[in-house]
Amino acid sequence: MGLKIEYIEGQTPLDEDEKEGLRIPVIATRGELDEFEQQNIEQAIQWSMKGSFRPDVVFSENFIRRVHEKMYGDTWMWAGEFRKTNKNIGVDKWQIAVELKALLDDAKFWVTNNTYPPDEIAIRFKHRLVAIHCFPNGNGRHSRLMADIIIDKIFKLPVFTWGTTDLARQGDARANYLAAIKAADMGDIKPLLKFARV
């Protein structure tokens, strides 16, 4: 029968080959998939809270991949691997590594030179990371966890609240989040900064 997924606004559809990477063949619905992924994500959050990560570790391709693998490795075989197809969002698949390196280099510069306040560094990083869209799926949740790791481990500040709700579900919080992302796409980072601390 195969996995049937209904997507909501802002979610990246999976290709059939990517759906084949599902580690738990009994999953048949979006709700079941969300439940398995959420368990995996919670384990990744616990792992990130225990770790002590320096900026040179956090701002590396290996760490970006490792966080995604920790978040989705129990659910998807392709967790931590860059996408091999183009999506409705993100850079061309061949540009992922180049664009990610540019972002990582920029972030190291921002931290070293105090280019922006801590929240803004983490949120600018999150925004550019999700715009690159490194992975077949889970980019939004991955970029939010990366922002939390940056603000917690590098700046020793509280993690973001992200509207204090599940942004993977349709609703006002998700609509506000997507509006803030679109504003950031147009060069206005302030709504996303505000939403992150709501």
Q: Left (φ > 0), alpha (ψ -120 to 50) or beta: where does 79 sit?
A: beta
Handedness of CA 131, 107, 65, 69 (dihedral sign): negative
Handedness of CA 111, 113, 117, 120 (dihedral sign): negative
For the chain, domain boundaries? 16-196
> According to the model, what pLDDT value does residue 8 have?
54
> According to the model, what pLDDT value does residue 9 have?
58
∠ CA 191-192-194 to the nearest 5 degrees?
Answer: 65
Q: Are 83 and 134 in contact (CB under 8 A)?
A: yes
39/92 Cα distance (integer angstroms): 31
Q: Which of 139, 138, 113 is nearest to 126 (CA)?
A: 139
| CATH T-level assignment (fold) for domain 16-196 | Fic-like fold (1.10.3290)
> According to the model, what pLDDT value does residue 1 have?
42
> According to the model, what pLDDT value does residue 13 have?
62
Q: Which amino acid is at 59?
A: F
Digit-by-digit pLDDT tens for the chain (198 residues) are 455 656 555 556 667 777 778 888 788 777 788 888 999 999 999 999 998 899 999 999 999 999 999 999 999 999 999 999 999 899 999 999 999 999 999 999 999 999 999 999 999 999 999 999 999 999 999 999 999 999 999 999 999 999 877 676 777 888 899 999 999 999 999 999 999 998
